[in-house]
Structure 1
Amino acid sequence: MRLAVFCLLLIPAFLTAAQPVKTIISLSPHTTEMAYAAGLGDKLIAASDYSDYPEAARSLERVANYRGIKMERIVTLQPDLILAWKGGNPTREMTRLEQLGFKVFYSDPKSLEDIASTLEQLGQYADSPKQAQLNANDFRQRLNTLRLAYQKKNTVSYFYQLSNNPMITIAGDNWPSQVFAVCGGSNIFANSAAAYPQISTEQVIVRQPEVIFGTSHAAADPSVWDNWRQQLPAVEKQHIFTVTSDWLNRPTPRTIMAAEEICQYLDQVRQSRL
C-alpha cells in the first residue's frame, strides 16, 4: 500500500518535468551565459547581441538587440525553446512568439539564490542535469560562505555609479543591489522612488558614501570627484573601485565573483576605520 502511494506521489513530477530539447535561442546575454552553465551550450543556435561569454557564444547568430528581436528570423529557425529576460525583452513580441506556439523560458532573478534555482530549472532541458546541478551547488556554497563571513560585519555606505552620462544608480532591491548587500553594503540611494534614478554629484555628496563603485563599462572616474575631495569620504580616502561589469550586472554564476570582489573592497573600507 505504501509503495503504491509513493508511486502516485511521483507521477506529477514526471508529468511536469521538462524534456530535453534540440535547439535553443537566447534573447539576452545573461540567459545565454546561463544556458552554457546549465549544459545547454551545444543546443544554442542563435542569441542576442553582447552574448559574449563563454567564448563559444560569440559565434552564434544574432537575433536580438536593444531595439527588439528579429521575429521573422526566429520563426524561420523554429527553436524548440526560447530563453528570454522577463522585463528586458519586449512584452508584445514575446507574447506573439508564445501565441505562435513557441515554448519560452523566462529568467527573472530577484535574489542571488534565484541564480542557482534558475540553473537547475534550465538543467531539465539538457540531456543530463548534472552540469547545471554542479554549478548550482558551487554557487550556493560560495554564496553561503560569504553570508556566514559577512552577516555580522558593520555596514558600509556605498554609491554605485551604473552609468556616467547621465549619472544613474540603483535603488531598492533592484539588481544588482543584492550583490552589495551580501557584503554588508548600504546603498545611499536605497530609498529613491525610481528603480534606477538619475542623480547629480551634489546628491551623492549630501549622502556622504564611504565608498564609490563603478564598472569597467561605466567607470567611477576619480577625476569627476577631485573637486569634492574634502567633502566626500570616499574620495579623500581613495575608496573608489572598479568592478567587472558583466560579473555584477548580469545575474549569472559569475555574479559570485563580483560579490567576492566587492566584499574585499568593503573590508578595505572597514580596515580604514581602525
Structure 2
Amino acid sequence: MLAFCFLLLSAATATAAVERVISLSPHTTELAYAAGLGDKLVAASDYSDYPEAAKALERVANYRGIKLERIVALQPDLILAWQGGNPSREMERLEQLGFTVFYSNPKTLTDIATSLEALGKYADSPQQANAAATDFRQQLNALQQSHQTQRPVKYFYQLSDAPMITLSGESWPSQVFALCGGQNVFADSPAAYPQVSEEQVIIRQPEVIFGTNHAGSQLARWNKWQQQLPAVARGNLFFLTSDWLNRPTPRTLKAAQEVCHYLDKVRQQPH
C-alpha cells in the first residue's frame, strides 16, 4: 500500500500555532479551512473558491507559477504547497529563504484525514481538524463497507476533450472510482495522465463514461459510437462535479457518493 507523502520541510520536529499562512493550490486552501487555519490565511492561489471566504484572499499563484517576491513580502509562517503541482525551483528558493513549507501529495483517500490532522497541529487548537478527520474516516468506512462486494464496473474518465486525456490506475482521482467498484479501462497505462484516442476507448469497451461539469459538452462526442460502445448504447454518459472529484479534500466524499450512485445505477441494468 502506498504511503501518503506529506513532507514537512522544517528543522524542528514539533509544530506550533502559526499566524500567517499562504496556500498555493485550491485543494490546500480547502484543507486549511477544514483544519481550522482559515482565519490565518493571508493569500492563496487562483481558483481557491471554497469555502466562500477563500474568494476574498489575495492571489499569489496560478497554473503559470507563483509570485515569489509577493510571497516573500507577505512573510508567511507557513506555506501550503502541492507536491508536483507548484514549480520546484521556486519552492526550493522559498525553503532556502527559511520559510516552512508543507507539501501535499495524496496517494489514498485516507491521506485526506491524515493531512487534516497534520495541518491541525499548526492551528490554535487541533480540535477542529481532528473532528473533521474522524468524521471523514467514518463516512469513508461506511462507503467502503457498502460497496466492497459490488460487481466491478468498467469505466472511462475523460479529463479533457482536445486532446483527450484520462488517468491511470494510480493517479488521482482513480481512488474515488475504485472505492465504488469502478474498474479503470486505462488502469495499466505507464503514463499518469495518458492522452488517448476514441479507438483506444472503444477497444476497451467501458460500461460507463464519465466527464466533469467543467468540460461542458465533451461527452457528446461519444454519441456517434452507440453501436460500438456499451456505455453509449445504455445511456451511461455521466457528468461529475469536478471540484469534488479532482481536489483531495473532505468534499471528496461528495464525489464518492456521486460516483457510487452512478455505478450502482449501471449495476441495476441488464448485464
Query: Shared fold by TM > 0.5?
Result: yes
- Equivalent residue number for residue 64 of structure 1: 61
1:231 aligned onto 2:262: no
Segments of 5+ residues of structure 1 without an aligned counterpart are: 1-14
TM-score by length of structure 2 reads 0.94
1:132-211 correspondence to structure 2 within 5 Å: 132-211=129-208
For 1:269 and 1:60, the matched residues in 2 are separated by 42
**What TM-score results when the alignment is normalised by the length of structure 1?**
0.93
Other structure's SS at 2:70 match: helix
Change (3 A) 1:88 1:205: same
Q: Distance in 1 between matches of 2:189 and 2:250?
A: 28
Is residue 247 from structure 1 mapped to residue 244 from structure 2 by the alignment? Answer: yes
Question: How large is the Cα RMSD of the aligned pairs?
Answer: 1.1
Match of residue 106 from structure 1: 103
**Cα 1:219–1:210, aligned 2, differ >3 Å: closer, same or farther?**
farther
Task: Tell me if structure 1 keeps the 8 A contact 2:211–2:219.
Answer: no
Within the alignment, does 1:47 sit opposite 2:51 as a pair? no
- SS in structure 2 at match of 1:225: helix
Instruction: State the shift of 1:36 in Å.
Output: 0.3
Q: Give the 3-state SS of the residue equivalent to 2:154 in structure 1.
A: strand
1:85 aligned residue = 82
Higher share of residues assigned helix: 1
Distance of 1:170 and 1:248 partners within structure 2? 13
Identity of aligned residues (%): 69
Where structure 2 has 5 or more consecutive residues not aligned to the other structure, the ranges are 1-11
Q: Which segments of structure 1 move beyond 4 Å, counting only runs of 4 or more?
A: none
Structure 1: how far apart are the matches of 2:244 and 2:142? 18
The structure-2 alpha-carbon separation of the partners of 1:219 and 1:183, relative to structure 1 and needing over 3 Å to count, comes to farther
In the superposition, relative to structure 1, how do residues 192 and 130 fare at CA in structure 2: closer, same or farther (>3 Å)? same
Bigger shift: residues 221-230 or 197-206? 221-230
Count how many residue pairs are aligned between Structure 1 and Structure 2. Answer: 260
Q: How does 1:1-40 map to 2 (within 5 A)?
A: 16-40=13-37
In our comparison, the structure showing a higher alpha carbon Rg is 1
Query: Does the CA contact (< 8 Å) of 2:173 and 2:245 recur in 1?
Result: yes
